[in-house]
Structure 1
Amino acid sequence: MKFYFYYFKLCNSTVNKKRLKLLCKVAREFENHVLFERVCEMYANSCIFSNTHVKKIFIRSGYGEGALGTYRYVENTKGEKLFEKIVFAKSNDDKHIDLYSSVLQKYIVNIKIPLIVSVVRTNELVIYYYEYLNNITDKRQLSNKEKEELLLFYLKELYSLNNEDVVFHAYNQFNNLLEDQVVKEGLYYIRRANYPKWINNESLLKFINDVLLTKKHITLSHGDLSYKNFNKDGYLWDWDRAGVYPVGFDLAWGVVSSFEEKDSINDIYQIALRIGKNVYSKNICEKIIQCNVFVFILICYFRKYKIGKNIPEHVLRFIKSRYRKMYNIYMLIK
């Protein structure tokens, strides 16, 4: 009954984003792409889906509002495989994908990326069609050494694009780190944790905030260098959050998402620091790299494992051994 209630409500409503968000909830709950297409066509007549034969295969849940902002595997009438992604027109997602299509993919040479082959744009929605990738990431396919090597390769290539002014400035105008999903959720868990008396949580949070808000030591970044977004063949996809972020953000999320929970936070930090020094040390002070990696490892680790009020002992040891030293260093050299 809930399904039909939402469906008829959608059919009899006028076009607005509130109704489109309701549509997202319906499509997410029922994973019914045929229904999704029909309602999209009602809301935006210029959305034409008739040239695609859609299979109900969801590659992953994706990031966005329900059905919008997720990738789907589709086939056109010629039997050619594509990835489809639908976003709100003029949204941040749309702006980032458009920049990726019009600017960034022209400059990326060594990283394998999925090209956008066609775009359907309406007043309310934009549909992007990407070339199909055969090999979706499977954690069993990559050793820890291979993961580290791939992350090092991606970060070096992205850092080299800082020299391209057109790329750097195009992306810099869109980034708001405090609105990033990973950062917002990580900070939420860090703030709500119960710290022992020997940790001054106010100074810890001030240190984290200072690093997040600095305009120094920034680099062009993928924005979601999660393990689910790259594979053994060197492909890197899902560039919808690309932008200019502080050094350490891409690195920390890439490392935290790539290695297992059995690795302590200190082990994760050491891996990230090793990669960070290799990528950034020629142009950025090593102490700054240490501070940034420390902060973003904390944020990403708390976010990934949804650490509650009771902080694991190995995380407390990590904070105790490093944060005061990192804080003092940062205050001197920022």
Structure 2
Amino acid sequence: MSLYEHMIHLYDKDIDLYSQKSCLTAKFTGTGYGGINMNSYRILEFKENTLFEKIYFKSWVDDIIIFTKEVLPEVLTQGINTPKLIESKEGENFFITYFEYLELEPLNHTNFLNEATDIAASIANVKLDPAIEFPDGRLHYHKSSFKGKLDNLKKELTPYMSDISNFLNTVDDYINKNVRKTLNHGDLSERNAFKNGKVIDWDNFGLYPLGYDFGKTIGMSEIYKKNELSLQDYLKIEDMIFKKVENLLTRELLEISLPYFTVIFLRHYRVRSRYNDINSISRELLELLKNRLAKLSKVGSHDSL
């Protein structure tokens, strides 16, 4: 038994972990950032196959079981290129999953948005059994770290728009009442979206308004960590995305949902990378959103940005 396996067993004596001695090779790969699993992963090579091991904390077992037992089979059946679950093991403190191991080829930075939004559109089109009982946190994105990102945007732009909090609350309410909720991956970054439509790591999945995955993907795009996103760039991206999801919602609704999620995630990820003049694109997108919403729903005017 390796030191790693010994430590796992010390914390959870009931877990039936694959031993390093039972496979040809066992090696660590990558690292994680979430709080629902150990953030340490192994590739286990056997004679008949190769597996990817991921250890979750038991407190998240309901979410993981819903995904692996209810959502993943539909995702695979409907053509999403993602690893199959081979086996799972449950102990007192851990829930371990063993997925099919896929060879992954990174997307090119310059074409990332096009290919990643192809994957997002395919996921949005997945038809799920309405009887699936999603945990509450997988139905309401406000219960995730999204709320903190939204609050930070409000604080940052209050000097430019005194009623920004009320305005964003109005937009959020409108989206939740009118925009279709679809399956979202929740983290289509360059760590999880790959060539040939391959996608991994569904830890942030949810049933959210269409636009969430797309806005977050724009916000996380590596190309905009080095180059500013102009309003003209955004409008071209928006047009590209609509062509991929026009079977799911109207152009008018995407024109509300997408800039809303984009401005929140763009602000969050660009601040972390010292993005220049983040206020400029944030204010432009919010001005665009304000004008569109006023035209669509006749919401009263707000302070000028």
**TM-score, scaled relative to structure 1:** 0.73
Match of 2:302 in 1: none
Answer yes or no: is the 8 Å Cα contact 2:30–2:41 preserved in 1. Answer: yes
Answer yes or no: is the 8 Å Cα contact 2:2–2:20 preserved in 1. Answer: no
Match of 2:83 in 1: 114
Partner amino acid, structure 2, of 1:132: Y
Match of 2:192 in 1: 229
Indicate which of 32, 42, 65 corresponds to 1:61: 32
Matches within 5 A, 1:20-35: 35=3
Indicate which of 311, 314, 323 corresponds to 2:280: 314
Larger CA deviation: 170-179 vs 246-255: 170-179
Q: Are 1:124 and 2:113 an aligned pair? A: no
Give 1:88 shift.
2.0
Partner amino acid, structure 2, of 1:63: G
Aligned residues: 289
Q: Are 1:105 and 2:76 an aligned pair? A: no
Q: Are 1:51 and 2:19 an aligned pair? A: yes
Answer yes or no: is the 8 Å Cα contact 2:193–2:200 preserved in 1. Answer: yes
Instruction: Provide the C-alpha distance between the structure 2 equivalents of 1:86 and 1:171, rounded to a whole number of angstroms.
Output: 21
Please list every run of 5 or more consecutive structure 2 residues that lacks an aligned counterpart in the other structure.
Answer: 300-305
Seen in structure 2, the aligned counterparts of structure 1 residues 172 and 272 have a Cα distance that, compared at 3 Å, is farther
Match of 1:40 in 2: 8
Give 1:208 shift.
4.3
Please list every run of 5 or more consecutive structure 1 residues that lacks an aligned counterpart in the other structure.
Answer: 1-32
What's the % identity of the aligned pairs?
17
Give 1:90 shift.
4.7
Matches within 5 A, 1:136-285: 137=106, 141-142=107-108, 144=110, 146-162=111-127, 164-166=128-130, 169-171=132-134, 174-181=138-145, 183-197=146-160, 200-211=163-174, 213-214=176-177, 216-258=179-221, 259-261=223-225, 262-264=227-229, 266-267=231-232, 269-285=234-250
Give 1:99 shift.
2.6
Match of 1:16 in 2: none
Match of 2:257 in 1: 292
Answer yes or no: is the 8 Å Cα contact 2:113–2:217 preserved in 1. Answer: no
Answer yes or no: is the 8 Å Cα contact 1:62–1:71 preserved in 2. Answer: no
Give 1:265 shift.
5.2
Answer yes or no: is the 8 Å Cα contact 2:82–2:200 preserved in 1. Answer: yes
Seen in structure 2, the aligned counterparts of structure 1 residues 296 and 38 have a Cα distance that, compared at 3 Å, is same
Instruction: Provide the C-alpha distance between the structure 2 equivalents of 1:256 and 1:306, rounded to a whole number of angstroms.
Output: 11
Seen in structure 2, the aligned counterparts of structure 1 residues 241 and 73 have a Cα distance that, compared at 3 Å, is same
- 1:169-214 deviation line (CA, Å, top 9, x unaligned): 4447542211223x13421320321444456323333234325644
Instruction: Provide the C-alpha distance between the structure 2 equivalents of 1:99 and 1:268, rounded to a whole number of angstroms.
Output: 38
Larger CA deviation: 126-135 vs 45-54: 45-54
Partner amino acid, structure 2, of 1:245: Y
Answer yes or no: is the 8 Å Cα contact 1:199–1:320 preserved in 2. Answer: no
Instruction: Provide the C-alpha distance between the structure 1 equivalents of 2:150 and 2:170, rounded to a whole number of angstroms.
Output: 12
Seen in structure 2, the aligned counterparts of structure 1 residues 278 and 298 have a Cα distance that, compared at 3 Å, is same
RMSD: 3.2
Instruction: Provide the C-alpha distance between the structure 2 equivalents of 1:62 and 1:154, rounded to a whole number of angstroms.
Output: 22
Instruction: Provide the C-alpha distance between the structure 2 equivalents of 1:103 and 1:319, rounded to a whole number of angstroms.
Output: 37
Match of 2:289 in 1: 323
